[in-house]
Amino acid sequence: MSEGKNTLWNLFRERKLSRRTFMKSCVALTAILGLPPTMLNKVVEAAETKDVPTVLWLHGQECTGCSESFLRSKAPYATDMILNIINLEYDDTLDAAAGAPLEAHLDQVMKEQYGKYVLVVEGATALGNDGTYCMIAGKPFNERLKQAAAGAAFIIAYGSCSSWGGIQAADPNPTDSVEISNVIYGKKIIRVPGCPPIPEVMTGTIMSYAMFGELPPVDDQGRPKQFYGNRIHDTCYRRAFFDSGMYVDEFDDDASKAGWCLYKIGCRGPETYNSCGNLRWWNGLSYPIQSGHGCIGCSEPHFWDNGDFYTRLPNIPLPGTITSADTIGTIAGFVATGAVIAHGGITLAKHKYDDIQLEKKEAAEAAKKADEAKNNKSEGGNQ
């Protein structure tokens, strides 16, 4: 593949896709690269002149939820990404081919594109019993992983399993499973953790390399800063309730129906770094907290072993105070919300909460009246 031949624009033309479709993909790419709209021209120029990257995608110990998440990405659509935007040469989960011919193809691409391809790895790798707990095409996955890593330009650990070991490395870790960085040396590994991760983060990382020859800036854990710079708690739309001491005490209680903060039923948002509150899933449709469940910290190292998912984090202080959420929650429980209702969002939720209480009271009164009427009637009938 020579420089400039296998460009995004050429691929679109070969597939008889219109300039309009090409431009729409460039707009989507500009957004996932986190660039302002004014940079669209630069993205278009790069898409017309730079070769699309060859990607090899390996699967180790995992549930394949990461691919499930990726396949539902909409900005850009996963089909666009796989068919038009990257040159996906191997993915043993998605490929129609299988067995020896597919493995031979992988060998060929690794040889021909040595030093140039992007390696995406889903899942952890097993060291126990000489790696035989995870076999791919008759060989320990661990061997295939090291072989593919040797010729990669860089590696993306896609998901918490390849990033941190994930569920199979959780106590008691019967297969001696480890994160991929434990067996790969001297290579740049970008971590895109989450169980599953947000697909646009990986797309953005690959395309930033493809378009501008640069990887995005990463934090000290190797995660793209742009996507892992904030806590879930910092972008949470329920945050005003946390700050005001308005908490759900148990699933399905009235506070839960009114959308209050989930901290007390185990939300780990205050200690978890990810972009769920901004990007969400399925084209921005939802994420765990929006569905009524606390964040379980799925992008953090060893989150399966970090304690019970439904026990609250201890002593998380409120912003600018030394008061913990527990203290203010207790106060709020008794004092209700004189100062609290100044906040517009809170006021609405308080009204909603009050409405629920009123409805309950009215229903109880109606039931009581109905009972009384029934009793009066039967007493009358007995006379």
When asked if residue 196 is in the footprint of ligand FSX (CB under 6 A), the reply is: yes
Q: Which is nearer to ligand FSX, 51 or 62 (CB)?
A: 62
Yes or no: say if 82 and 71 are a contact pair by the CB < 8 Å rule. no
When asked if residue 267 is in the footprint of ligand FSX (CB under 6 A), the reply is: no
Quickly count helices (H) and strands (E) in the chain.
15, 9
When asked if residue 192 is in the footprint of ligand F3S (CB under 6 A), the reply is: no
For β-strands 117-122 and 125-126, DSSP reports them as: unpaired
Q: Which does 262 bind (CB under 5 to 8 A by kind): ligand FSX, ligand SF4, ligand F3S, none?
A: ligand SF4
Among 29, 157, 295, 332, binds ligand F3S (CB under 6 A): 295
When asked if residue 173 is in the footprint of ligand FSX (CB under 6 A), the reply is: no
What the block records as the tokens of 140 is: 């320990």
Q: Which long-range contacts (CB under 8 A, 24 or more apart) does 279-284 make?
A: 279/198, 279/200, 279/201, 279/227, 281/69, 281/72, 281/198, 282/72, 282/74, 283/74, 283/75
When asked if residue 274 is in the footprint of ligand F3S (CB under 6 A), the reply is: yes
| CA–CA separation, 44 and 211 (whole Å) | 9
| CA–CA separation, 80 and 233 (whole Å) | 33
What the block records as the tokens of 215 is: 């990887």
Q: What are the DSSP E strand ranges found in 16-162?
A: 54-59, 87-91, 117-122, 125-126, 135-136, 139-140, 152-158
What's at 366, amino acid-wise? A
Counted residue by residue, the chain has a size of 383
When asked if residue 71 is in the footprint of ligand FSX (CB under 6 A), the reply is: no
For β-strands 139-140 and 87-91, DSSP reports them as: unpaired
Among 126, 127, 276, 340, binds ligand F3S (CB under 6 A): 276
Restricting to residues 120-139, name those near ligand FSX by CB under 6 A: 122-123
When asked if residue 206 is in the footprint of ligand FSX (CB under 6 A), the reply is: no
Q: Which does 50 bind (CB under 5 to 8 A by kind): ligand FSX, ligand F3S, ligand SF4, none?
A: none
Among 298, 313, 325, 349, binds ligand F3S (CB under 6 A): 298
CB of 270 to ligand SF4, least distance (A): 6
How many residues line the site for ligand F3S (CB under 6 A)? 12
| CA–CA separation, 46 and 233 (whole Å) | 36
Query: Is omega for the bond preceding 172 within 30 degrees of 0, making it cis?
Result: yes
What's at 246, amino acid-wise? M
Q: Single out the residue of 280, 341, 274, 344 nearest to residue 303, CA to CA.
A: 274
When asked if residue 66 is in the footprint of ligand FSX (CB under 6 A), the reply is: yes
Span of 199-207, 294-302, 335-343, 363-371 interacting with ligand F3S by CB under 6 A: 294-302
When asked if residue 195 is in the footprint of ligand FSX (CB under 6 A), the reply is: yes
Q: Which does 267 bind (CB under 5 to 8 A by kind): ligand F3S, ligand FSX, ligand SF4, none?
A: ligand SF4
Q: Which is nearer to ligand FSX, 170 or 318 (CB)?
A: 170
Yes or no: say if 316 and 324 are a contact pair by the CB < 8 Å rule. yes
When asked if residue 287 is in the footprint of ligand F3S (CB under 6 A), the reply is: yes
| CA–CA separation, 380 and 160 (whole Å) | 71
CA-to-CA separations, 200 to 170, 179, 191, 329, in angstroms, rounded: 27, 22, 13, 36
Site string for ligand F3S, 219-258 (x = CB under 6 A): -------------x--------------------------
Sites of contact with ligand SF4 (CB under 6 A): 232-233, 236, 238-239, 242, 261-263, 267, 269-270, 289, 294-295
**Residues in the site for ligand FSX, rule: CB under 6 A?**
62-66, 122-123, 159-161, 166-167, 195-196
**Residues in the site for ligand F3S, rule: CB under 6 A?**
194, 232, 272, 274, 276, 287-289, 295-296, 298-299
